[in-house]
């Protein structure tokens, strides 16, 4: 891997209080060699990182797997704190790491990726950030399809509706 260095020909120009202030040409004046600020990758969290993390969390919880267990199954293994950072979107996932997780979860890799068009389908994952929402969904999935499952769904819809008259008969 080649590393680019920029030679600072104006090293005599003082920099303000010595804290990475930019000089002429977009590079700092702290020393003879400095990388331009534009090539330093910021550790910012993007919306997509958070969406991928939410999908990882959903897949892990749907399988009853702990963060520690997932971390141990990755190669090389990582701590539960690292898995937590992936899930929160604080640390970016490499393509290889995402592929490993997809294999562990036995799902296609694109299941972990948000839609390229930024569609509203991603919003469903926002609801699953709460552990109670995931537990409710897990319990619902254990119900056989049929009248009981439909009744549970209607009951939850009634309870959460703004129309209090709908609850009178429940």
Count of residues for the chain? 170
Tell me, yes or no, if the pTM score tops 0.85: no
End-to-end CA distance of the chain: 67
Which residues, including other chains, have CB under 8 Å from residue 84's CB and lie 6 or more apart? 67
C-alpha count within 13 angstroms, C-beta hemisphere, residue 49: 14
List domains and CATH numbers for the chain: 1-40 (no CATH), 47-127 (1.10.260.40)
Q: What is the pLDDT of residues 88-124, one digit of tens each?
A: 999 999 999 999 999 999 999 988 988 777 664 545 6
Q: Determine the Cα–Cα distance for residues 8 and 30; give it in Å rounded to an integer.
A: 9
């Amino acid at each position: 891997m080649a590393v680019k260095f920029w030679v600072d020909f104006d090293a005599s120009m003082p920099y303000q209080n010595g804290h990475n202030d930019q000089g002429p040409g977009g590079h700092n004046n702290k020393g003879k060699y400095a990388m331009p600020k534009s090539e330093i990758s910021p550790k910012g969290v993007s919306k997509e990182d958070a969406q991928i993390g939410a999908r990882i969390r959903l897949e892990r919880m749907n399988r009853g797997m702990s963060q520690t267990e997932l971390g141990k199954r990755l190669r090389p293994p990582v701590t539960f704190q690292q898995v937590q950072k992936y899930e929160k979107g604080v640390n970016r996932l490499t393509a290889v790491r995402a592929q490993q997780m997809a294999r562990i979860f036995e799902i296609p890799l694109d299941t972990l990726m948000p839609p390229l068009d930024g569609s509203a389908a991603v919003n469903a994952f926002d609801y699953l950030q709460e552990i109670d929402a995931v537990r409710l969904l897990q319990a619902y999935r254990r119900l056989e399809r049929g009248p009981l499952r439909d009744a549970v769904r209607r009951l939850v819809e009634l309870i959460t509706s703004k129309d209090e008259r709908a609850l009178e008969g429940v």
